[in-house]
Amino acid sequence: MKTKYSIGILCFTLFGLGACLDDQSSLGDRELSEITISAPHDTLTAYFGEEFVVSDLSVEQSGEELPLAYEWSYGTLNTDENGMASYPIKDSLHIVSHDPELRYAFRELGTFGLRLRVDNGETIRYKYFVLQIDTEFSEGITVLSRDGDGKGRISFMRTLTKEKINTGKAPTFRTDIMEQINPQTKMEDVTDMVQVNNRLLVCSGEEGRIYNMDSRTFDVEGMTSFKELYPGCAFVKFAGVSANNNIYLISRDRRGYVYDYGLDELVLTEYFKNLDVDAAVSVDRPVFVNYETSVFYSPSLGGVNSSLNRYVDFNIWGICPVGSSVYVIATYKVMPSYIYLSQTTFSLGNPTILQFYDSPVSLKVNRNSLLAGSKSCDCLYYTCEDGIYYWDLKNRLATTPVISIPEGMEITSLSMNTDGTLLYVGLYEKDETEALKGHLYIYDVKTSVLVNQYHNIADKPIAIIYKGRV
């Protein structure tokens, strides 16, 4: 059943083109009845295949109240170097209604120009709006979780418009995305999720499989297992985007693979065949690390950059991207109480030493810690057994957590929204009586204050992203 959306015109009055006047010779000196059209909002948002209703449109006449003829049409949005072109619609118009109130189910995705033409026989007035046609899954928080058997679940909460929020509507999670959109697909042993342009990718471990979805609809368009080609591949996480639709992954066989999400192909490049790596982070380019040798690697044109011996005197415990830099938390091998904090880039040149000091308390970060960094707030959060810690990148590490773990819960995912202002904490409550034992807590990055919490919205959360509109 289609959902009816009455969106009180989120409409953008680009301008009302001047009235086109009929021949005035038969009207004598009588003043023409001019038409005025007004709308309360700036942007129209409709959802694919669902009836869209435009209401709260005010049409007035300055003189005699004459019969009005309406025409609603839409077409390709016309832009120029200054933004909106003087005539907002190019190419042909698609006429969709002649009623005063628009009711129509659009079946194209994208951004269009919408035109209303009103004619009273004496004057004609046009009003132009920007029309965004999205799917109900176009933008919002997306959670990948797994149950005890490794079966994957996707939960999604759509971002509401201000107009929807002002009407009192509250955002809620849908937890049945796979069952509704891909009822024949069972995601097995899922380990990570990432959005790249209009693709949503989910990787699996022992299956060696990548689920390739349309990020706007969650339709699974590819689910290739690469086990036959590379028997050792068992993906742990996505490691960063490269050029030409390529994204890197790290595998349990301690190798880095390259996946072309446009062609649905996996490659183990020559310069990765002999690498032995434990972990990876995503910056401008992927950076891989071998903890035992304390060496970093980054792909370069036709080869691999290496940090060589720059970190060999240190035990590396945590690495995290913040903007285009990689921040490294390490301890001095010969004196483990000395904490070494440094910054490097994907080119892996000489690191910048941020802090090197004898700490009065033992280092809280370990190689199981989850880390998430914010360029806009110049900070980094990381997990430990007793809570979540905050690192102001200009200072030393904190010695006490800023966020406590709720009793009976385990932190299983840590990430941020796209602009680094909100911290997403995925929690798993093993003894929860509800079927879904996964929760999401959202904190303000600057203040570490809890701003929202959503309970029982997933299985065990393993990846949380803000899926943006494309």
Report the candidate in 245, 221, 246, 249 with the shortest Cα–Cα distance to residue 233. Answer: 249
What pLDDT does 28 receive? 52
Encoded tokens for 425: 């904490």
Query: Which residue type is seen at 338?
Result: Y
User: What mean pLDDT comes out for the span 159-188?
Assistant: 86
Encoded tokens for 253: 């066989």
What pLDDT does 41 receive? 74
Encoded tokens for 26: 């038969």
Question: Is a pLDDT exceeding 70 seen at residue 2?
Answer: no
Question: Is a pLDDT exceeding 50 seen at residue 9?
Answer: no
User: What mean pLDDT comes out for the span 371-397?
Assistant: 96
Q: What is the pLDDT of residues 343-372, one digit of tens each?
A: 998 889 899 999 999 999 999 999 999 999
Contact 223, 182 (CB under 8 A): no
Encoded tokens for 94: 């698609």
As a whole number of angstroms, the distance between CA 237 and CA 240 comes to 9
Parallel/antiparallel/unpaired status of strands 422-428 and 410-416: antiparallel
User: What mean pLDDT comes out for the span 36-43?
Assistant: 82
User: What mean pLDDT comes out for the span 187-207?
Assistant: 95
The answer to the question of residue 451 being in a domain is yes
What pLDDT does 30 receive? 64
Range of the domain at 71: 5-134
What pLDDT does 3 receive? 41
Question: Is a pLDDT exceeding 90 seen at residue 45?
Answer: no
In three-state secondary structure terms, 25 is helix
Question: Is a pLDDT exceeding 60 seen at residue 204?
Answer: yes
As a whole number of angstroms, the distance between CA 397 and CA 294 comes to 21
196 or 85, higher pLDDT: 196
Final residue in a domain of this structure, among 134, 159, 176: 134
Report the candidate in 349, 332, 279, 333 with the shortest Cα–Cα distance to residue 341. Answer: 332
The answer to the question of residue 263 being in a domain is no
User: What mean pLDDT comes out for the span 108-124?
Assistant: 92
Question: Is a pLDDT exceeding 50 seen at residue 1?
Answer: no
User: What mean pLDDT comes out for the span 72-101?
Assistant: 87
What pLDDT does 170 receive? 85
Question: Is a pLDDT exceeding 70 seen at residue 220?
Answer: yes
CA distances from 184 to 180, 207, 223, 266 (A): 10, 17, 12, 24
As a whole number of angstroms, the distance between CA 112 and CA 101 comes to 19
Q: What is the pLDDT of residues 227-236, one digit of tens each?
A: 999 999 999 9
Report the candidate in 134, 138, 55 with the shortest Cα–Cα distance to residue 100. Answer: 55
Parallel/antiparallel/unpaired status of strands 338-345 and 352-358: antiparallel
What pLDDT does 201 receive? 97
**Based on C-alpha coordinates, what's the Rg of the chain?**
28
Question: Is a pLDDT exceeding 50 seen at residue 22?
Answer: no
Question: Is a pLDDT exceeding 70 seen at residue 376?
Answer: yes
The answer to the question of residue 89 being in a domain is yes
The answer to the question of residue 110 being in a domain is yes
Instruction: Show the beta-strand stretches assigned E in 252-302.
Output: 256-260, 265-267, 279-282, 286-290, 295-300
Question: Is a pLDDT exceeding 80 seen at residue 72?
Answer: yes
Contact 339, 327 (CB under 8 A): no
Task: pLDDT band for 163, please (50, 70, 90 cuts).
Answer: low
What pLDDT does 49 receive? 80
In the numeric block, the tokens 């690390």 are attached to 289
CA atoms within 13 A on the CB side of 262: 7
In three-state secondary structure terms, 350 is coil
**DSSP string spanning 371-429?**
EEEETTTTEEEEEETTEEEEEETTSPPPSS-SBPPPTT-EEEEEEE-TTS-EEEEEEE-
Task: Show Cβ contacts of residue 318 under 8 Å, excluding neighbours closer than 6 positions.
Answer: 328, 329, 365, 366, 367, 369, 371, 382
138 or 260, higher pLDDT: 260
Contact 9, 57 (CB under 8 A): yes
Q: What is the pLDDT of residues 278-325, one digit of tens each?
A: 998 887 678 999 999 999 998 887 788 899 999 999 999 999 999 889
What pLDDT does 205 receive? 96
- CATH number of the domain enclosing 110: 2.60.40.10
The answer to the question of residue 352 being in a domain is no
What pLDDT does 26 receive? 47
30 or 437, higher pLDDT: 437
The answer to the question of residue 39 being in a domain is yes
Q: Centre a 10 Å sphere on the Cβ of residue 313 and count the other Cβ atoms it contains.
A: 12
As a whole number of angstroms, the distance between CA 390 and CA 384 comes to 11
Contact 198, 153 (CB under 8 A): no
Percentage above 70 pLDDT, the chain:
92
Question: Is a pLDDT exceeding 70 seen at residue 132?
Answer: yes
φ/ψ of 252, rounded to 5, equals: -70, -15
Report the candidate in 22, 128, 115, 122 with the shortest Cα–Cα distance to residue 70. Answer: 115
Question: Is a pLDDT exceeding 50 seen at residue 7?
Answer: no
Tell me 19's DSSP state. Answer: P
The answer to the question of residue 217 being in a domain is no
What pLDDT does 387 receive? 96
What pLDDT does 25 receive? 40
Encoded tokens for 443: 């904190």
pTM of the shown model: 0.80
Contact 319, 325 (CB under 8 A): no
In which element (H, E) is residue 210 found? strand 209-214
Q: What is the pLDDT of residues 331-340, one digit of tens each?
A: 999 999 999 9
Encoded tokens for 27: 């009207």
Final residue in a domain of this structure, among 84, 102, 134: 134
Contact 275, 297 (CB under 8 A): yes
Percentage above 90 pLDDT, the chain:
69
Q: Total domain count for the chain?
A: 2
Contact 53, 75 (CB under 8 A): no
Q: What is the pLDDT of residues 237-275, one digit of tens each?
A: 999 887 778 999 999 999 999 999 999 999 988 878 888
145 or 385, higher pLDDT: 145
Task: pLDDT band for 29, please (50, 70, 90 cuts).
Answer: low
In three-state secondary structure terms, 253 is coil
The answer to the question of residue 231 being in a domain is no
Final residue in a domain of this structure, among 134, 159, 184: 134
pLDDT averaged over the chain?
89
